[in-house]
Structures are given as structure tokens and as C-alpha cells.
Structure 1
Amino acid sequence: MAVAAKAITPPDRVTIRRALLSVSDKTGLIDLAKALSERGVELLSTGGTAKAIREAGLAVKDVSDVTGFPEIMDGRVKTLHPNVHGGLLAIRDDADHRGAMDEHGIGAIDLAIINLYPFEEVRAAGGEYRLTVENIDIGGPAMVRASAKNHAYVSIVVDPSDYAPLLAQMAENDGATTYAFRQRLAGKAFARTAAYDAAISGWFAETLEVDAPDYRAFGGKLAAVMRYGENPHQSAGFYADGTGRPGVATATQLQGKTLSYNNINDTDAAFELVAEFEPETTAAVAIIKHANPCGVAEGETLVDAYRKALRCDPVSAFGGIVALNRALDAEVAEEIVKVFTEVIIAPDASEDAKAIIAAKKNLRLLLTGGLPDAAARGAMVKSVGGGLLVQDRDFGRIDDLDLKVVTKRAPSEQEMADLRFAFRVAKHVKSNAIVYVKDGATVGVGAGQMSRVDSARIAARKSADAAEAAGLSEPLSKGSVVASDAFFPFADGLLSAVEAGATAVIQPGGSMRDDEVIAAADENGIAMVMTGMRHFRH
């Protein structure tokens, strides 16, 4: 049963006479405290916050003096008291509430400056279990929610970026805040505690390996407001989830225009793909367009890998995203800037490479500080009408699979190396996916078709086009291997690959017609390997 609301009209302006400050992030704290003190606002505070304010030479009253009870249990219990929450929750224009305040000596608190223990930072840093639990804030969220609920009378600030707007409000309104301003602060406060609790519950689900918890929450902090979404009529924003996974959300953008919604989506796809390749073992480059690879390659050096990747589909690479699994160096930077490129993302970059990219002012350069772990689990979320689809990230890797040769002919050593490469790439191509590979580089990619045969034919056509652009007389796919992200339901898809010149194939297997497909491979002298794992990507 819903709680009844009293018919009281909130005041438009509430003068701030008493403020409670309790912050973990002390950015801007002293300047704010000074500004409030100069306006004659009484300051109440806790623990380290009170200490910092006092050391700045400002008058501040400890919350323990207000509650008549000391902070106990290592500070776990300090603000959970009627003298604090009564001051935050009291409806000032309600006679019963005023009577309770007078009877119990509870003073009104007009402003709460609260930010929370750094749970997200500890989680992202991989803190051990007890440390992570200890950084779950209890009193902070309780005060935030109390203040936000009573926004008719209380201004709640949870983000240092709002200190300046708060002081501007007070300057404009002779020390008061307006109801509209308090409403906006309250909305942000509830969103903050929601994101905080989402991070905590998500951490518990991951730590305890609960695949489908009864309740699931997701939250994040606004990293950027997009000019628009996928299309100009769609609004959009980019939120960082606080998990610390290296990528677009953690990257430093050194130059270039603000990233668009589509830029971020494509850049994420590119960086997750190159993360499949260990930088200690090989240099790898992926060129992405519309979230699909148009060229991927590995090599001794990044420039070697880039040239091989570009050869696969030089037309589609125009206006694409380039991702590297090693620090961007000057040699590969010189090659990349020869083609119009939207974004480069890499773990790091040399000073010479940065200087080369700087000459292209609209080219965005993102440095992440590391690569994401391709084998790590983590939630992926997709909205559908009325709900959310949640699944693990596709953490399957070919290195962990038991590969089975199912044809009379086994792949050669070079074919097997290319098959492994091709299957890594196919994992990141929209299904139905067909990927031709030769000598550690894609030579044809077919993506997102309703028919696997069409994907095979499109990839072969692109291979022929790339050969023509390179001045070669036969398709790049001739003598290649081919990967399929899922099983061949019929032999026709395999035969299309044979026509394109493929000599070996890797696929998950599992079709009711596997025997027919294997027989077709044997008839054409094709080696076939089955992985037992598919990689649908929608």
C-alpha cells in the first residue's frame, strides 16, 4: 500500500543556513567550505572531512557533537542517527514535524554535500574481497537518499562538478536555492545511488558467479553527451560503467573532434578484436567499418600488419577505425595518415607517432593504457521492448578449444595457423560470418547476411576486388583458408568457399548434415577442422 502524501506546497526558495559535508572525494571541498562560511552557513562534518575543513582554518562542528554520540566501529556508525536524519527529512511546514524537531532538539539541515566511498575505484583496481566490501558506503547513501527525498527543503550535492552551480544559485537568490534547482539535484542524487548500488550488486554477481541474479541493475557515469545517436533524430549519451576494462571508456583522447555514437561503437569493436592477439607474440591491426572488420592482420611489426590489413579491403577502410595491440609507432603512423581515418586506438603511442598524428587535426587518437582481457567474463546488455537481455561477453578463445580434424586431409602447419587466426576474427564479425585468411591476414570478409552462402560469395567478391586494386591477376582468396562463425547447414556454403580458392576450413560443426559437408570437403581435397564452439554476433 502506497504511503499517503501530505498536502503541503513546497517553498520555491530555501535559504541555506546549515550544511552537512561528508565526502570521500575532497576535490574543491575547501573552496566550497570557505564560500559557505563567508555566507554565514554553519558547517557540520564528519571524520576526515571535518579535519580537512578545520585545518583550513574554518569553523566546523563535528557530527558527533550533534548526535551526542561518538563515531564508532572504525567510522561505520556516525551519521545513522535521528539528529542527522531528522534534520534532513523533516517537512518544515508540517506542524507535527516541527513539534518533533523542537521536542528532540533536532536542527534543520538545508544543504548536504555528500559523496561516497570509492567502491567503483576499488572494484576496478581488483581489490581483494574484504577491502572491496569495506568500501561499500552505508551512511552516505542513506543521507543522500534522505536529502533527495526531502528536496522540497534540502539541496543535495553528490558531485564536485555541482559546487560552482550551487554557489551561483546562492549568489542569485540571496543565499537560497530554488525548488527547480533542488529537483534537479535530487534526480542526480538518486541516479548516483542507483549507479553505486548497481556496481555493488554487479560485483557480487561476478564474484559469486551468479549467471542470472533475481534482480539486475546497471549504472554508469556520464562520460559524454553525443550530438546525436546512430542518426540525427536520436539523442544519445555515453556512460562509463566503472569496471575499468581498458577501452574507449578509459581512453585518453589526445586530439580530434568529439567522438560520435557510431565512432564509439566502432572503436570498441575494433579494440576488442585486436585484444585477441597477444602483443608479446605478434603485432596486430584491425580496421573496422560499421562494427565489422574490413581488414585484420598480424605481422612482425605494426606497419607490416597494417599494410596487410589494408590490402584486404582498401575501399571500405576509407573513413574507418584503426586499432592496434601495441603502442603506435612513427612508422605505422606515417602509413595510417595516408588514408582518411576517423579514429586510431592503441594502448600507447611514441612521441614521434603523436607528432605525426597531430598534423591531422580531425583524426582522433585514443590511448587506453592497456588491452582488455579477451578471456574475461563480463555482462553485455541489450535492450528489448519492456526488458533487457543480459549475457556474458563472448569469452571463448580458440586456444582453449579441442580442435578436431574431421577430413581425410589434415591442414598443413601454415593452414592451421591461418585457421586459428581466421576463427579469432570470425568471432568479431556479424553473423552470418565468413572470413578468408592467408598468411596471417584477412583476404575477404563476408558479414551480416541472412544466408551463409551469400556471406561466402560476398567475401570472395571482396577478395577479387582487393586483388584488382592491388594489380594482381587472381583473387586474394586463392590458396586461403576460411572460417565460419557457425556450422554449415548445407554443403553449398563450403562449395562457395572452394570456388573462391580456399584449401582448408574451420567451423564449429554440429549440423545434422555434418557428414554431407565433410564428404563435400573430402571430394574437393579440403582440410576441415571443427571447434565445437560457435561465435554468433548480432
Structure 2
Amino acid sequence: MPVRRALISVSDKTGLTDLGRALVQRGVEILSTGGSAKALREAGVAVTDVAEVTGFPEMMDGRVKTLHPMVHGGLLALRDNPDHLAAMEAHGIGPIDLLVVNLYPFEAALARGADYDEMIENIDIGGPAMIRAAAKNHAFVTTVVDVEDYEKLLGDMDQHDGATCPKFRRKLAQIAYARTGAYDAAVSTWLAGAIGVETPRRRVVAGQLAQGLRYGENPHQKAAFYTDGSARPGVATAVQHQGKELSYNNINDTDAAFELLAEFAPEDGPAVAIIKHANPCGVARGETLLEAYRKAFDCDRTSAFGGIVALNMPLDEETARAIVEIFTEVVIAPGASDGAKAVFAAKKNLRLLTTEGLPDARAGGATIRQVAGGYLFQDKDNGYVDRDDLKVVTKKAPSEAQMRDLMFAWKVAKHVKSNAIVYVKDAATVGVGAGQMSRVDSANIAAIKAGRMAKELGLADSPAVGSAVASDAFFPFPDGLMEAAAAGATCVIQPGGSMRDDEVIAAADEAGLAMVFTRMRHFRH
């Protein structure tokens, strides 16, 4: 059945007049509403107002215009059902073969921080109702909700003598229901937050396909990358300047790298993180980006191979030349100079991403993890402590230089898989122990890595000697603390809160360590 009558009602006018002209050229009568009808007329496209069809004017500030049997009957009528056809004839209802609708810009209003009343007015009612009706009747009606499908619509009509094929209509129906589902998810999530409901009875998450991926963590796993529409700077909003397509693991690791860098404000100086398998293998500050990169790289040169490099400042040419000295998967930064881009251009597989900003480490948000039969939701770990939050619990207090390294180590430990132990010296990690079942093992592994660093750099002593050590959670016994002391650490930052805190503090005093409690834990599983 050819498309003879279409209803067009769109908030996003992109491509509207071109679509309207193309449909008229193919013999399609166009019904429309409000701003869409006005835009079409001004472009010289013949259009009939929906109000002329329904016999009712748009009313209540446009809240009521398409909620009428003359519209929904035309969308829902089964063309092969004699009773439906009889009802259409009896009531003068004309069939609507094509629906083109995109919804009020609720998500855009949310992104710009609109107030409650404006958000309410951006909840579309008639649009979702028409979309659901048309999509339900996709055996006869074509439903288009995305501008990107306009050309596909015209192509399918041309291929089928003015009609659309069932396969195409089914595909568009699925897209349509996904769109209304995502829209309702955005509304319900916003409203829960607006009225202070922390654990709503039903929670819906929606995403828009950013790219299909060749595979997931492993080649036998199918995967895709979806974005949530937020404007948070990061891998989802970055511009990729060069290099092959990002993989599932690239995206995961790049996100981990850039979220870690968000802890280090550019105004406090250049910082660089090198990530491997979602764990930092080197993080450092420096007077320049190059110095910060060299210090981060020196922490674990072996693990840095094939890693992800994140910078808190625009990449410069000198740092770019240092980075390409070894194989690197991805570099992500707020920007990049032309010289840096030229250096990377010689490495065609190296991905360069720029974000035009850093994410706010203290901003809210949620993390989601699937478990068998359900999902775990929690607030994003945006916990932060500053110097005034720390409590010195040992006889010896940290010096000013030690305090700076302790704060640095604490920021890094937050982004290391638990159990996490991080040694820091002179604003650079010198040993990282991650993801162990025992905190003692994490401390030992971090010390081993520090020893390897000494060997690679030709140092007389392990850089862990004189270092600050951070633990993401409390030491349940003194043994993990003593492992760090044996490695040469001189000061400790940890949450505290163990039943044996007194024993741990006494052990620290006996070893001559300075120790502070944060009263905040940073488990990362």
C-alpha cells in the first residue's frame, strides 16, 4: 500500500522542509501542527492543519491538538479489517500511512538545568501517544522518530513504488518504542530526583547507540557502546582525531584513566595517568606535561606498554614525542596542539581523543552493575577529603611535603581496584598494588613494583623508601601496615575504623610512622 497521507509534527526542524518537499513530490498529502505546519508553509510546501481534520483548534497552550479519534483512528485502523474500515467510513476518518514525530526536547531542557515548571512543560504527551499508536499498527503505518531516518524512508519508498516494506516498518517500530521508552525513562528519573525519591519503585535506564563494537572483553562476546546523553567530558563525548575504532576494553580503560585525572585540577599543575586494565600503573604531577608523563611512565615501564594515557591539560608536541616512543593504545586529553597531532599522525593506529574539558570529580551520578536477576545501582563515588578532614592519629605528624604526597596517594587509591595500596614519592606513584584478596599482598606487590622501578632507573634504593602510602580501606591488622613500613614508607593515609585501630596505631608509632585517618573508604570492585 503506497503512502498517501502523512502526519508530521516535530520539535527538531532539521531536514523538515526537505522531507516535506520530497513527500509532496511523491504524491503524499501532509497533515501537520503548530510550528511544523508554519515551517512547511513558509517553505512553500502544501500542508493541512490537523485542526482542520479534527474540527478542534489547538488549545491549552498546545497541550491538546492531536489527542483525537480523527488522528488516532487514522493511525490505528487495520486496513484489512472490514469493521475498522466501516468505522472509518462512518465517522469520516482518513487513514494516516506515515507518522513523522520527534518529541519535545525534554532531555535538552534537563541538560541546561531548566527549572521544575519548565521541565513539566517539556513533557510531551501527544507525541508519544501517536508514536505508540502508529508503531503498534506497523503492519500498515510507517513511524519515523529520528531525523537520520528521513533519507532511509524516501529510499524505501522509491524502492517500493511509493510504499514501504514490512521489514522496514518493523525496524522503525522498534526504534519508535525504544525512543518513547528512553523518553519516559528520562522523565521518571528526573522526577524521582526532583521530589527526592532515592530508591524509586521502578528504575529505567536508556542509552543511544554510539557505535557497534567488533567484540566485547573477548572475541566471542558481542558488544556495543551506548551513551546516556549527558554532557560530562569523557570518552563518550570526546572527538576522535585519528586511529582505529575504539574497542570495548579501550573505552572502559579510557574512561577509568580520564576519571582518575579529574581528581587533579589543571590549576594545580600538569598531571598524567597511565592506565592498564582499568588500574593505574603510573600517575604523576610535574612542572610540565612532559615531566609528569616521564614520572608516570617510570613507575611501571613494563605495564605502560599498550596502555592508556590521560592528561589534565592539552597535549603538546614535546609530550607527544615522548608518548610515541612506546606502543600506546589511546591518549585522551582536554585538547591537543597542531604539533602534537602531527606527531601522532605518523602512528596511524594510535587513537587521540580530545574532550574540551575535564569531568567534575565531585559531581553526582550513578553507577550500574548487572548481577544475575537484577541490577545494582549506587551513587557515583564522588567522595572527597581535604586537609582539614584528616585526623592525625600517631605521635608523629606528617610534614608538609609528606602531607602533599599523602593527599596525592589518596586520590590515586580511590581509582585502584580493591584491595588497593599506593606508594607515592614527590607527587608520583612509585608502586601500585591492586585487586588482591589480601591487603598484605597488595602492599607487597606495590613494594615489588617499586623495587623493579629502582632497577630499571638504576637507583641505589627503592623509591618506596621515604614514600607516602595510601590504603583504600582500613588496615584490619598491623601486618599490612608493617609490610609498607618494611618497604620504606614513612607516612600513611587510610580511612580508619577497624576494631583494631589501636593496635595499628601502636604499630605505626613503634615503627616511627606518621599516620592520618580520612574517615572515608574508597572500595572499588
The question of a shared fold, defined as TM-score above 0.5 by the shorter chain, is answered with: yes
1:270-304 C-alpha deviation (Å, 9 max, x unpaired)? 01000011112222111101000001111222222
C-alpha spacing 1:58/1:241, structure 2 compared with 1 (3 Å) = same
In structure 2, the residue matched to 1:179 is: 166
In structure 1, the residue matched to 2:194 is: 207
**1:15-414 pair list within 5 angstroms:** 15-399=2-386, 402-414=389-401
Instruction: Name the amino acid aligned to 1:521.
Output: A
Aligned length: 525
In structure 2, the residue matched to 1:521 is: 508
Instruction: Name the amino acid aligned to 1:472.
Output: L
Displacement, 1:124? 2.0
1:456-498 C-alpha deviation (Å, 9 max, x unpaired)? 1111111111111111121111110100000111111101101
Assess if the C-alpha contact under 8 Å between 1:509 and 1:530 holds in 2.
yes
Displacement, 1:400? 7.9
Secondary structure at the aligned position of 1:388 is classed as strand
Instruction: Name the amino acid aligned to 1:46.
Output: T
1:484 and 2:501 aligned? no
In structure 2, the residue matched to 1:421 is: 408
TM-score normalized with structure 2 length:
0.97
Assess if the C-alpha contact under 8 Å between 1:125 and 1:244 holds in 2.
no
C-alpha spacing 1:18/1:400, structure 2 compared with 1 (3 Å) = farther
Q: Distance in 2 between matches of 1:404 and 1:329?
A: 40
Instruction: Name the amino acid aligned to 2:43.
Output: A
1:166-222 C-alpha deviation (Å, 9 max, x unpaired)? 222212211112222211111111111111111222222333343211110000110
Deviates more, 1:194-203 or 1:502-511: 194-203
What is the root-mean-square deviation in Å for CA atoms of aligned residues? 1.4
Q: Distance in 1 between matches of 2:409 and 2:37?
A: 60
Runs of 4+ off more than 4 Å: none
1:98-125 C-alpha deviation (Å, 9 max, x unpaired)? 2221222111111111111222222223
TM-score normalized with structure 1 length:
0.95
Secondary structure at the aligned position of 1:288 is classed as strand
1:440 and 2:419 aligned? no
Q: Distance in 1 between matches of 2:202 and 2:480?
A: 42
Instruction: Name the amino acid aligned to 2:131.
Output: V
Instruction: Name the amino acid aligned to 1:79.
Output: T
Unaligned runs of 5+ in 2: none
Secondary structure at the aligned position of 1:218 is classed as coil
Instruction: Name the amino acid aligned to 1:392.
Output: D
Assess if the C-alpha contact under 8 Å between 1:486 and 1:534 holds in 2.
yes
In structure 2, the residue matched to 1:456 is: 443
Identity level (%) = 69
Q: Distance in 1 between matches of 2:326 and 2:355?
A: 23
Displacement, 1:27? 2.3
1:501 and 2:488 aligned? yes
Secondary structure at the aligned position of 1:443 is classed as strand
Q: Distance in 1 between matches of 2:487 and 2:411?
A: 21
Secondary structure at the aligned position of 2:426 is classed as coil
C-alpha spacing 1:191/1:302, structure 2 compared with 1 (3 Å) = same
Displacement, 1:401? 6.6
Q: Distance in 2 between matches of 1:323 and 1:40?
A: 55
Q: Distance in 2 between matches of 1:393 and 1:235?
A: 27
Secondary structure at the aligned position of 1:71 is classed as coil
Assess if the C-alpha contact under 8 Å between 1:401 and 1:531 holds in 2.
no
Instruction: Name the amino acid aligned to 1:75.
Output: G
Deviates more, 1:207-216 or 1:136-145: 207-216
1:239-291 C-alpha deviation (Å, 9 max, x unpaired)? 11012111111111111111100000000000100001111222211110100
C-alpha spacing 1:213/1:401, structure 2 compared with 1 (3 Å) = farther
Displacement, 1:33? 1.8
In structure 2, the residue matched to 1:7 is: none
1:61-90 C-alpha deviation (Å, 9 max, x unpaired)? 111111111222332221111111111111
Q: Distance in 2 between matches of 1:204 and 1:333?
A: 46
C-alpha spacing 1:348/1:209, structure 2 compared with 1 (3 Å) = farther
Unaligned runs of 5+ in 1: 1-13
Secondary structure at the aligned position of 1:176 is classed as coil
In structure 2, the residue matched to 1:8 is: none
Deviates more, 1:160-169 or 1:472-481: 160-169
Q: Distance in 1 between matches of 2:48 and 2:233?
A: 43
Q: Distance in 2 between matches of 1:112 and 1:507?
A: 60
Instruction: Name the amino acid aligned to 1:222.
Output: L
Assess if the C-alpha contact under 8 Å between 1:123 and 1:243 holds in 2.
no
Instruction: Name the amino acid aligned to 1:73.
Output: M
Displacement, 1:307? 1.2
Q: Distance in 2 between matches of 1:63 and 1:416?
A: 70
Instruction: Name the amino acid aligned to 1:292.
Output: N
Displacement, 1:23? 1.3
Instruction: Name the amino acid aligned to 1:261.
Output: Y
Q: Distance in 1 between matches of 2:143 and 2:12?
A: 16
Instruction: Name the amino acid aligned to 1:529.
Output: V
Assess if the C-alpha contact under 8 Å between 1:275 and 1:325 holds in 2.
yes
Assess if the C-alpha contact under 8 Å between 1:156 and 1:186 holds in 2.
yes
Assess if the C-alpha contact under 8 Å between 1:123 and 1:132 holds in 2.
yes
Displacement, 1:165? 1.9
Instruction: Name the amino acid aligned to 2:189.
Output: G
C-alpha spacing 1:400/1:184, structure 2 compared with 1 (3 Å) = farther
Secondary structure at the aligned position of 2:118 is classed as helix
Q: Distance in 2 between matches of 1:255 and 1:148?
A: 39
Assess if the C-alpha contact under 8 Å between 1:347 and 1:367 holds in 2.
yes
Displacement, 1:350? 2.1
Instruction: Name the amino acid aligned to 1:249.
Output: A
Q: Distance in 1 between matches of 2:495 and 2:190?
A: 32
